[in-house]
Amino acid sequence: MILNLISGPRNISTALMYSFAQRDDTEVIDEPFYAHYLEETGADHPAKDEVLQAQSTDDKKVIEQLKEDAEKAPVLFIKNMAHHVDCIPSSFLAEVRNVFLVRNPREMLLSFIKTVPNPSLRDTAYQQQYRLFRYVTHTLRQAPIVIDAAELLKNPPVVLQAVCKKLDISFDDSMLFWEEGPIPEDGIWAEHWYGNVHKSMGFNPYSPKKEAVPERLESLLENCQNYYMRLYKHAIKAPG
């Protein structure tokens, strides 16, 4: 089974990848379409040259490699960004189990601007997530799983158990903890983005951000919020 995580930036997607990496039956792959996205769009991201050198920019070759990798373990977990997936053939979505990971855009932006000070709507991936969600649900007639970052952090065991049940795989307690530091599957860009995860040994307790989003980003926040709320209503909720 191929699990295709469709996330946005700063959405605890790396922590979720680390969680699935603890399973004995699972292999994980970190953003395999990143180089293709950078070449296709010309986006300027940290470590761009290194990513382009480290990965294939041919999305068709990447997809074929993923299919080969899927033969090596019962579960292949692919961590993807929505804007990366938006640049590849939509037929790929019909061959995988799609899982959407979202986060309240106010909290996401406050984290994101530490690395990308002036993000565009495309950079946030909310619009792409919603468009892909509609394609998966209305065109492919699938019932994708939606995980909200805050709901997961409020009660990781309960939310992960619900995720596993929907995927028809057993929940494993090992998914709740990992060793501090990087893992071999980290992308080459890890030093720019994964600092907090490398300091963690599991999902950190949810702590809402109290700062205000800078005034220059208020319009962007409103746009993101509209897409986020349409996805959040489908998310697995933590009890209480």
Q: Is the pLDDT of residue 198 over 80?
A: yes
What is the pLDDT averaged over residues 131-156?
96
Q: What is the 3-state secondary structure (H, E, C) of 66-127?
A: HHHHCCCCCEEEEEEEHHHHCCCCHHHHHHCEEEEEECCHHHHHHHHCCCCCCCCHHHHCHH
Secondary structure element (H or E) that encloses residue 159, with its range: helix 156-167
What is the pLDDT averaged over residues 189-207?
82
Secondary structure element (H or E) that encloses residue 48, with its range: helix 48-54
What was the pLDDT predicted at 187? 80
Q: How confident is the model at residue 8 (pLDDT cuts 50, 70, 90)?
A: very high
Query: Which of these, 184, 202, 162, lies nearest to 12 by C-alpha position?
Result: 202
Q: Set out the domains of the chain in order of their start, with CATH numbers.
A: 2-232 (3.40.50.300)
String of DSSP letters for 3-47? EEEEE-TTSSHHHHHHHHHTSTTEEEEE-TTHHHHHHHH----TT
What is the pLDDT averaged over residues 79-106?
94
What is the pLDDT averaged over residues 171-191?
88
What is the pLDDT averaged over residues 94-123?
92
Distance CA 221, CA 199 (A): 29
Q: How confident is the model at residue 194 (pLDDT cuts 50, 70, 90)?
A: confident
Q: Is the pLDDT of residue 190 over 80?
A: no
Q: How confident is the model at residue 159 (pLDDT cuts 50, 70, 90)?
A: very high
Query: Which of these, 136, 144, 62, 138, lies nearest to 94 by C-alpha position?
Result: 136
Taking only Cα atoms into account, the Rg of the chain, rounded to an integer number of angstroms, comes to: 17
> What pLDDT digit, counting tens, does each position of 50-64 carry?
889 989 999 999 999
